[in-house]
Amino acid sequence: MKSPEECRRLVQESFRMEGKTAFAAVAVTGLLIHLPMMVRDIPNHDGLASMHFDQNMLTSGRWFLMAACGVSSYYTLPWLIGLLALLYLSLTGVVLTEFLGLRRKSSIILVGGLLAAFPAAASLFAYVYTMDGYMLGLFLAVLAVFLTRKYPLGFVGGGVCLAFSLGIYQAYLPFAALLSLYGMVMLVMEGGGGLVKKSLRYVWMGGIGMALYVGILWILLNIQDKELASYQGISGMEAWAGGTLAQKSAPARVASVYRDFVSFTFKGNVLFRNAPSVCAFALLALLAAAAWLNWRKRKPWRKKLGVFLPLSVLAAMVPVAANLALLVSPGLSYHLLMRYQWVLFPILLIAFAERYGEPPGAGERAETAKACVEDGAAKGGRASLRAWLLLLGGAVLVFHYAVTDQIAYSNLQKRYEKTYAYALRLLDRIEQTPGYYQGIPVAMVGVVGEDSYPVTDITLPVTANMIGMNGDSLLYTGANYREFLKHYLGASLHILPPEAMADIYYSQEYVEMGSFPAADSTKVVEGILYVKTENADRE
């Protein structure tokens, strides 16, 4: 048996320098950007009900989420959960670096920085109670593709990893799909035998992963006598699994996938938002295009249709791979937590520019020593320029995403402060209402009326598409009020469930009440405390 020190040395020696660089890049960048959220306890509306939550989300298809989040306990512990999430994300950076074949330190650091800084990671901190599980799911999705590329039978282990990734969060399937497409691009670009056979590994990996995921889900649902929920169209998987999806809807779904891809990419205000970020992204695209031209010059025989046809097909499949969820559930709310895969676009541009950006004739032997020196100097100068431009473009994007994250975190802090002040005033009014007593049934909808409290969020131009980060309040339902008052003000209110509000909401007494902070916004009617917070005028 090896000693702990021997095991440490073995692990250290097994990691390539590129892997160590990737791990450090993600970890350091992640801590620098996300530390403000790791040392605070700022919930969002969903987090209010998840201060202690066992993450049993089987009816949403997430059968492995409970185990994935169990490592950090089922309490909302931002520091511990944040550290675990960054650990999983750092390991993802290691595997991704190896999959892409990155060797230049600057490129590896940029890829790690993009992974850690992309705004989807910031939005996850608004849902910190489940963040460590989700980051483990992302790691498994990337590991699945890496194993498939690395080993002849790696698609078997990759399929298992993909199944468990889907069992945590189905939204990382597009991440694996996009990487698989890029893996096929690398196969086409690098040539060699067995192109079809090697490409099919990714298909087998996806098939094994989906079959295993659905099989385990079906077994667990039957054991627990449950059904898939309709939330976010998750029950639509039954139609796909059973082959009952209407064929006539397929063209419309595919069209919506392409429309959404173009809309979010160019108008989503996430991938790039201001002039510097647009220029940086354009610079990366130009460097990748230059790498493509260099590759063509080195390999003129590859201009055959047999090479460009598969590359064209793979390029056309990118929007579908990025938006696989919309094929299953066209009407789902496709928010930023489900769009982490968009970070791959700048990452893959960097990887492509590095891998195929060598100048024509690089490595070829010069006729004379003088020619060799001159040739090397010229090519070295061009390579240095490309490396600096690549570093510039990637660094600007990392900084852009980091600034976006800080703006979002600033607003989330303000949302909490505004909510705390509002809830404190409302609680005082409730307790001062004639007829109030501890435990009295409370009837309220929970929406904060914009007539009395107009929107004051100044970050919407930046955070509009960052779910969990925008807006003024954490409170949208009666249950939100109950949990916020319980956990942050130490007060317990017996707030009636939504179904009990059906008759009260349209009653004459409730309609005639003013909205808080009006003097008549709270009153006791037949033993029930009515609390009206939403706008006075309703359609």
Query: What confidence score (pLDDT) does residue 531 get?
Result: 94
d(CA 217, CA 211): 10
Write b or e for each residue in 155-170: b if 16 or more Cβ atoms lie within 10 A of its Cβ, otherwise e.
bebbbbbbbbbbbbbb
User: CA 39 to CA 56: how far, in whole Å?
Assistant: 26
Give the pLDDT score at 2: 67
The band of 111, judged by pLDDT with boundaries at 50, 70 and 90, is very high
Q: Report the domain count for the chain.
A: 2
What is the structure's pLDDT at 445?
87
- Find the Cα–Cα–Cα–Cα dihedral 264, 267, 273, 275, rounded to 10°: 130
Q: 307 pLDDT band (50/70/90 cuts)?
A: confident
Count Cα neighbours of 140 within 13 Å in the Cβ-side half-sphere.
27
Q: Which has the closest alpha carbon to 92: 36, 14, 37, 23?
A: 23
Label residue 69 left, alpha or beta by phi (over 0 means left) and psi (-120 to 50 means alpha): alpha
SS3 string of 442-468?
EECCCCCCCCCCCCCCCCHHHHCCCCC
**For 511-538, how does the pLDDT look when each residue is reduced to its tens digit (9 = 90+)?**
999 999 999 999 999 999 999 998 755 5
pLDDT at 245 exceeding the cut of 60: no
Same domain, 9 and 154: yes
β 522-525/528-531 pair status: antiparallel
Residue 268 in any domain: the answer is yes
Question: pLDDT tens, 114-152?
Answer: 999 999 999 999 899 999 999 999 999 999 999 999 999
pLDDT, tens digit, 9 for 90 and up, residues 78-100: 999 999 999 999 999 999 999 99
Rounded CA-CA distance 427/536 in Å is: 20
Assigned domain for 537 exists: no
pLDDT score at 240: 45
In this structure, are 22 and 65 located in the same domain?
A: yes
Mean pLDDT on 445-457? 87
Note the Cα 125 to chain centre separation in Å. 11
Quick one: pLDDT at residue 468? Answer: 87
Looking at the structure, do residues 99 and 23 belong to the same domain, yes or no?
A: yes
pLDDT classification of 539: cutoffs 50, 70, 90:
very low
pLDDT for 248: 46
The region of weakest confidence among 69-78, 304-313, 332-341 is 304-313
List the alpha helices (DSSP H) in 356-455: 369-432
Residue 539 lies in a domain: no
Backbone φ and ψ for 28, nearest 5 degrees, come out as: -65, -45
Whether the CB-CB separation of 465 and 269 falls below 8 Å is answered with yes
User: Which stretch, 303-312, 314-323, 380-389, has highest mean pLDDT?
Assistant: 314-323
Cα distances from 239 to residues 247, 248, 328, 344, in angstroms, run: 11, 14, 9, 30
CA torsion sign for 469, 473, 476, 479 is positive
| Full domain range(s) for residue 429 | 411-531
Q: Residues 347, 493: one domain?
A: no
Residues 393 and 444 grouped into a single domain = no
**237 with 356, same domain?**
yes
Average pLDDT for the chain: 87
Q: Assess whether 430 and 398 both reside in one domain.
A: no
Give the per-residue pLDDT at 362. Answer: 44
Last residue of a domain, which of 359, 391, 410?
410
Strand order in the sheet with 441-443: 494-495, 441-443, 528-531, 522-525
| Pairwise CA distance, residues 469 & 45, whole Å | 11
Q: Of residues 333 and 485, which shows the higher confidence score?
A: 485
Question: Considering only CA atoms, which of 78, 180, 119, 72 is closest in space to residue 398?
Answer: 119
**Which of 199-213, 318-332, 426-440, 452-466 has the lowest average pLDDT?**
318-332
Buried residues in 235-244 as b, exposed as e (16+ CB within 10 A): bbbeeeeeee
Contact 45, 480 (CB under 8 A): yes
Mean pLDDT of 11-25: 83
Tell which residue, 224, 217, 220, has the closest CA to residue 240: 217
Do 197 and 280 share a domain, yes or no? yes
Round to whole Å and give the CA distance between 396 and 435.
Answer: 60
Could you report the per-residue pLDDT of 163-217, keeping only the tens digit for each? 999 999 999 999 999 999 999 999 988 876 778 899 999 999 999 999 999 999 9
Virtual torsion, Cα 438, 444, 450, 452, nearest 10 deg: -50
Judgement on whether residues 252 and 225 belong to the same structural domain of the protein: yes
Whether 149 contacts 116, CB under 8 Å: no
pLDDT given at position 46? 85
Last residue of a domain, one of 410, 434, 450: 410
Whether the per-residue pLDDT at 336 is higher than 50: the answer is yes
Classify residue 538: in a domain, yes or no: no
Separation CA 403–CA 150 (nearest Å): 36
Residue 431 and residue 354 in one domain: no
Residues 48 and 480: their CA atoms lie apart, in Å, by 6
Asked if 398 and 417 sit in the same domain, the reply is no
Q: Is the domain of 221 the same as that of 344?
A: yes
The Cβ of residue 483 has, within 10 Å, a number of other Cβ atoms equal to 21
d(CA 527, CA 525): 6
Query: How do beta strands 494-495 and 522-525 pair?
Result: unpaired
Identity (one letter) of the amino acid at 282?
A
Instruction: Judge whether 165 lies within some domain.
Output: yes
Q: How confident is the model at residue 343 (pLDDT cuts 50, 70, 90)?
A: very high
Last residue of a domain, one of 353, 388, 410: 410
What is the pLDDT averaged over residues 347-356?
94
Average pLDDT, integer, range 465-475: 89
CB neighbour list of residue 344: distance below 8 Å, 6 or more residues apart: 175, 178, 179, 182
Please give the pLDDT value at position 233: 53
